[in-house]
Structure 1
């Protein structure tokens, strides 16, 4: 495994040589949790992957209202907790044939339950589908398949089976919801322990939005300090510290070193966000890092990469940024958050590996008058 720990090597790999580092490694667990790589997150960099990503990108502007949402959140949270440190079976693949661990059996059980729910939703959508009235993301995928049928494009149709669609739907909502949830955990915890910064966020929201309506998308450009605060949350509380593993498509190089074909490559986002060569007082929570002299958002700092980059850049970045801002601004408009008396503001990390989140914590939430 090759691990890239600074922005120079990451930029070389993901931007300059983007296609060469765009594959995914061959791990048995990834095959299982994607039904044989029939999704976006774990699929290799192929024409089929490009097709699904293109379709998904066009459909991501939809809103979704799912009555089973809360139950899904609970299962998704448990899934994240279990998957965080990876699987012993990936280091010793013979265990898949002899005896799998209790953890692996539990996580595949949860995965199968979630996948079955998506399959049922897909069937419901197919029965009520109207190509002149696209209701949501699932309808957009069904429409893409119908268009391929109209054009008799057998190659595209082979990549748009029900199994492909279910896994793409799972990717979009599973990955997007989970990272947003963890980022909000970090955000409220930081605000509880940083009353002076929270007060500045309150002041900006009161001045720009007021208290008689919720913040909207159009307010975002005038809520620079609020957004900068969220960016600092995403820097110090990196939800996916080493991203999703990459793999090289061919023999290549990075940082002057040879990297053979099919080498697993990890991007250490945590190291990028804590690199003292790019961040002054690296462990201090300071939203002004992201602001210019006029108090507006400045250009993205070079070593800030929460959504990755290159061919495998996070598909939901354009949706996640405004979504997170709206959630954070709405919470800050309505509530004042503090820590129980005698509680340390230090944030302890829970979980590890692929995904992290704050260890269990208590806060006091009071409605602002």
Structure 2
């Protein structure tokens, strides 16, 4: 008879001298075939007080002091510190930070199995998550349990009903792309950062679905004058209800026609009317709006900025994309996303940008809602589980040149696009995969097609473009500020 898995704890002199209860560690069950892995909790306590460096002793601990645990090095991003630990401790790493036991998953197959488990699908009650979620664990991204399932189903259903994934709404994206091209025409021949109108165009697409609001791309200065737009782009007003969202909600309530809902806010207000007496509904709606606007704008904008940076840095790649567009797309028109197979190299470039930059290296943290087995290890309830998605994108098992920008990673030998790559998880994986994945893919494809059809991007004179991420941004891998020269392309011969 197989023994039940047990929690095992390691006591050290430091623990013995305190009244704090020892914390459970991840251990394989007795009699299992799981190979032993070095544990971050086996060494004497004093070893954990040494700073992290490139020569970590395999027997040293990342368990740390009572209450404090082992705090990360503040001068290095946490995902980079975990990268140093993986060759030593393997694919499942335990690290107690403060009072939290954290498990970092550093392998695609392990991550895929973990993220499929319902007991590992909740979010931890981090203070920052509550702040982003309109002051509490509401909305879509940071809610848990029945509320999360309800909100996710509602958002997916309503966004699809409002046109996400349909040709009718793709025409909205194409109109925004046309306005964006018109604005970029005013910025040609100058050494400058990418014009602000790119962010306005991307925001408009999401805002149209959520609140039926559009800001003219030709007037990006309005962002500095309009409290509503500025609050969304700068995240002011994302805590509590905020004056901005209250104004939006009041306007929707005053003009609501239940027989003709205009957007997601209208749909939610109609649902609220059917569920009178249920508390926190308006706070939940505010959190959902912030989730969709901030996540839907930041991620798409960052990927387009990364793509333009790489295309400007690698002009031969940019030229090949433009030749493909010239051959397949009539002048002054755009393809629908369902026609993307006509532009396999552009698709490969977009996917390779996603892979090489790993925009959200940790995704969003999960927490074990109950004791859970994973690969022979017992993950106790309350353990924070963090999938290190960047390891998936830099694993030589899946990528021939994991640290190089190479669009051929996503091309078949015949030049067609290969969309079935294992180890590719830019929008997450499992039960918490990004709600806006489909919309983001269409936006990125349409905006880049429009820009590359009409413009060439090159480095500013005397400047070398670098693809290092901005160290001032702690959560996402965003590009450092850069300048390019935007040149309008001359008319070229089209495919007959």
Tell me how far apart the structure 2 counterparts of residues 215 and 231 of structure 1 sit (CA, whole Å): 18
Alignment partner, residue 47 of structure 1: 146
Deviation at residue 36 of structure 1 after TM alignment: 1.5
Alignment partner, residue 98 of structure 2: none
Tell me how far apart the structure 1 counterparts of residues 303 and 267 of structure 2 sit (CA, whole Å): 28
Higher RCO (C-alpha 8 Å, min separation 6): 1
Tell me how far apart the structure 1 counterparts of residues 234 and 256 of structure 2 sit (CA, whole Å): 32
Tell me how far apart the structure 1 counterparts of residues 341 and 245 of structure 2 sit (CA, whole Å): 36
Correspondence 1:27-38 to 2 at 5 A: 27-34=126-133, 35-38=135-138
Tell me how far apart the structure 2 counterparts of residues 358 and 10 of structure 1 sit (CA, whole Å): 26
Q: Does 1:269 align with 2:389?
A: yes
Correspondence 1:191-340 to 2 at 5 A: 191-340=311-460
Q: Does 1:135 align with 2:262?
A: yes
Deviation at residue 261 of structure 1 after TM alignment: 0.8
Moved more, 301-310 or 28-37: 28-37
Tell me how far apart the structure 2 counterparts of residues 125 and 192 of structure 1 sit (CA, whole Å): 43
- Residue 75 and residue 279 in structure 1: after superposition, are their counterparts in 2 closer, same or farther (change >3 A)? farther
> How many residue pairs align between the two structures?
330
Unaligned runs of 5+ in 2: 1-101, 163-204, 216-221, 491-496
Deviation at residue 113 of structure 1 after TM alignment: 8.6
TM-score, length of structure 1 as denominator length: 0.83
TM-score, length of structure 2 as denominator length: 0.63
Aligned residues of 1:55 and 1:144 also touching (Cα < 8 A): no
Tell me how far apart the structure 2 counterparts of residues 114 and 189 of structure 1 sit (CA, whole Å): 37
Tell me how far apart the structure 2 counterparts of residues 43 and 283 of structure 1 sit (CA, whole Å): 35
Tell me how far apart the structure 2 counterparts of residues 22 and 120 of structure 1 sit (CA, whole Å): 34
Correspondence 1:344-359 to 2 at 5 A: 344-350=464-470, 351-359=472-480
Tell me how far apart the structure 1 counterparts of residues 327 and 229 of structure 2 sit (CA, whole Å): 34
- Residue 238 and residue 114 in structure 1: after superposition, are their counterparts in 2 closer, same or farther (change >3 A)? farther
Q: Which is helix-richer, 1 or 2?
A: 1
Aligned residues of 1:248 and 1:262 also touching (Cα < 8 A): yes
Alignment partner, residue 88 of structure 1: none
Tell me how far apart the structure 2 counterparts of residues 23 and 125 of structure 1 sit (CA, whole Å): 32
Q: Does 1:8 align with 2:109?
A: yes
Aligned residues of 1:60 and 1:316 also touching (Cα < 8 A): no
Instruction: Note the aligned Cα RMSD (angstroms).
Output: 2.2
Tell me how far apart the structure 2 counterparts of residues 114 and 361 of structure 1 sit (CA, whole Å): 35
Deviation at residue 74 of structure 1 after TM alignment: 5.2
Match for residue 124 of structure 1 among 248, 251, 262: 251
Aligned residues of 1:195 and 1:338 also touching (Cα < 8 A): yes
Tell me how far apart the structure 2 counterparts of residues 29 and 169 of structure 1 sit (CA, whole Å): 17
- Residue 335 and residue 313 in structure 1: after superposition, are their counterparts in 2 closer, same or farther (change >3 A)? same
Tell me how far apart the structure 2 counterparts of residues 277 and 26 of structure 1 sit (CA, whole Å): 35
- Residue 70 and residue 256 in structure 1: after superposition, are their counterparts in 2 closer, same or farther (change >3 A)? farther
Alignment partner, residue 96 of structure 1: none
SS in 2 for 1:318: helix
